[in-house]
Amino acid sequence: MPLTRRRLLAGSAAIPFLGTVPGQAATPAEILTAQAALVQIAPPEYPKTGVWAYDDQVPGRTLRYRQGDMVDVRLMNGLDQPTTVHWHGLRLPNAMDGVPGMTQPPVAAGSSFDYRFEARDAGTFWYHPHSNSLEQVSRGLAGVLIIDEPDHPDVDADEVIVLDDWRMTEEAQIHDSFDNRHDLSHAGRLGNYITVNGRSEAVYDVESGQRLRLRLINTATARIFDLRVRGLRAWIVALDGMPLPAPVETTEVVIAPAQRVDLFVDVIAEAGEEAILGSVERDGTYALAGFRVSGSSAAARPAPVALPPNTLPEVRLDSARTVPLRMEGGAMRGLPDGAVWKGNRMDMRELAMMDQFWAFNGMAGMTDEPLVDAGLGETVRIPITNDTAFPHAMHLHGMHFREVRADGTFGPWRDTLLVNSGQTREIAFVAENPGSWMFHCHMLSHQMAGMMNWIRVT
């Protein structure tokens, strides 16, 4: 990997800072400025799109650290409304989690906030605001955070593939329909324009026989991507930043909002043949990433080995506490018994007037008391029942969980789980990280319209 300035700064954290006045923060190595910008997202025949971006890029620039480094980032707020940065999927101290009013004060327009925490787990993560999230993320605020393993895995290239979904006007401007009640009560703010790394398609030049690491990140606020590979032999090596115990070969990848999938792919297409990562849409499969294959294949590589595991706690079901979560509401099913919102019981019509369409255990939106009050180190099981007509991507902050399958075995470690309509899927986690942690649907229209709660660990 080339030694960039950023890498040098991040890698030199062990050298004490010089010239720092005690009590005054050193200048962080990285500054992210959330601000309005004009970016060419649409094809060249369209005008630039007015976005909200970190600096002037969509997605924001990829922050990269080595496992064990200090992440040290100043957020400058150049927007005209409060914002924060949430570091999605990272196990970090609660005060660095970026939830305004819960873990930190909102960062007012024109002010800044310093985030500093250890890059504990190696993997693929991302960052986005947690303030007016639906609008801020939809307008372009999102970026990738990579934490490298101490030893680089044996791949010929390491590529970030950020999938996003935009709702644009015919002039390629962002449609400002953020409080559209149809979206809030249906599948969320689905867009009409899909991007890969902020462009309509990504193209990579590769050689037949090469092995690539593809880090897929879904930053869309609602769209679930159903992906296929062609001309590539693919293995899933990590989900939501956490390595699988062994690579799993696949030709299909479903990635819900906020999820990450790390793939190793071997280019099996020969020079001139097609190799793509495609998205299955109603009327066909569209290439999101195209690989232009040249060269002749080197000797076939042996099957890949697992990435080194992160240190995660052991989930012990025998002593666990179970707190069921029932999701209800939305179009088609509604909230026939109403729900409690901000301490008041309301019927469905009153809730709709407050833009609330969904409930967790009969409660819409944040509550004074958490869904779970866990003791530090306690294991918690949450069977999640989706009694709605839509899929939901449930995300827990600050800790990863495992799915407990019907036969009692564990699924992979994740921070975001897709629960389809009618399913009950159980998660279990060790309450290892003290603090107040959001637990919400990452379809951000649903989060805003009732699907959020929290878990306290003390």
Interacting residues with Cu ion (CB under 5 A): 392, 441, 443, 446
Q: Which is nearer to ligand C2O, 87 or 204 (by Cβ)? A: 87
Answer with the entry of ligand C2O, Cu ion, none that 446 interacts with (C-beta below 5 to 8 A by kind): Cu ion
Q: Does 258 bind ligand C2O (CB under 6 A)?
A: yes
Q: If DSSP codes are grouped into helix, strand and coil, which group holds residue 276? A: strand
Supply the minimum distance, in Å, between the C-beta of residue 277 and ligand C2O: 23
Residue 452: CB minimum distance to ligand C2O, A = 8
Question: Nearer Cβ to ligand C2O, position 374 or 443?
Answer: 443
Contact partner, 441, from ligand C2O, Cu ion, none, Cβ < 5-8 Å per class: Cu ion
- Report the residue number, 287 or 382, with the smaller CB distance to Cu ion: 382
CA pair distance 251, 262, nearest whole angstrom = 13
Kindly state the smallest distance separating residue 422's Cβ from ligand C2O, in Å. Answer: 25
Choose from Cu ion, ligand C2O, none: what does 414 bind? Cβ within 5-8 Å by kind.
Answer: none
- Write out the binding residues for ligand C2O, residues 383-442 only, by CB under 6 A: 395, 397, 438, 440, 442
Helix boundaries (H) for 276-415? 348-353
Closer residue to ligand C2O (CB): 89 or 153: 89
Instruction: Give the DSSP H/E element, type plus range, for residue 325.
Output: strand 325-329
Residues 74-93 that bind ligand C2O (CB under 6 A): 86, 88
CB of 134 to ligand C2O, least distance (A): 12
Does residue 260 belong to the site contacting ligand C2O (CB under 6 A)? no
For residue 88, the partner it binds in ligand C2O, Cu ion, none, with Cβ less than 5 to 8 A by kind, is ligand C2O
- With beta carbons less than 8 A apart as the criterion, state whether 70 and 13 touch: yes
- Residue 392 interacts with which of Cu ion, ligand C2O, none, CB < 5 to 8 Å by class: Cu ion
Given a contact cutoff of 8 angstroms between Cβ atoms, the answer to whether 321 and 381 are in contact is yes
By beta-carbon proximity to Cu ion, the closer residue of 88 and 446 is 446
Token pair 């990504």: residue: 202
Residue type, 425: R
Residue 443 CB, nearest approach to Cu ion (Å): 4
In the complex, minimum distance from the CB of residue 440 to ligand C2O, in angstroms, rounded to a whole number:
6
Query: What minimum distance in Å lies between the beta carbon of 187 and Cu ion?
Result: 8
Would you say 62 and 144 are in contact if contact means Cβ atoms under 8 Å apart? Answer: yes
Residue nearest to ligand C2O (CB): 88
Number of residues in contact with ligand C2O under rule CB under 6 A: 10
CB-based contact 72:58 (threshold 8 Å): no
Q: Which is nearer to Cu ion, 139 or 446 (CB)?
A: 446
Nearest-approach distance from CB 218 to ligand C2O, in angstroms:
11
* Residue 415 CB, nearest approach to ligand C2O (Å): 8
Measured from the CB of residue 391, what is the shortest distance to Cu ion in angstroms? 7
**Stretch 111-150: interaction string toward ligand C2O, x if CB under 6 A:** -----------------x-x--------------------
Q: Which residue has the tokens 């989690």?
A: 97
Q: Which is nearer to ligand C2O, 189 or 395 (CB)?
A: 395
Q: Are strands 193-196 and 344-346 parallel, antiparallel or unpaired?
A: unpaired
Q: Which residue has the tokens 């040290």?
A: 72
Distance CA 117, CA 96 (A): 7
Tokens in use for 224?
């679930």
438 binds, among ligand C2O, Cu ion, none (CB under 5 to 8 A by kind): ligand C2O
Calculate the alpha carbon distances from 332 to 3, 54, 202, 424 in Å. Answer: 54, 38, 38, 19
All residues at 6 or more sequence positions from 241 whose CB lies less than 8 Å from its CB, including other chains: 89, 121, 122, 123, 124, 125, 147, 260, 310, 415
List CB contacts of 452: < 8 A, sequence separation 6 or more. Answer: 360, 365, 366, 438, 439, 440, 441
SS3 call for 255: strand
In DSSP notation, 74-131 reads EEEE-SSS-B--EEET----GGGS--BTTTB--B-TT-EEEEEEE--S-EEEEEE--S
Residue numbers of the site for ligand C2O (CB under 6 A)? 86, 88, 128, 130, 258, 395, 397, 438, 440, 442
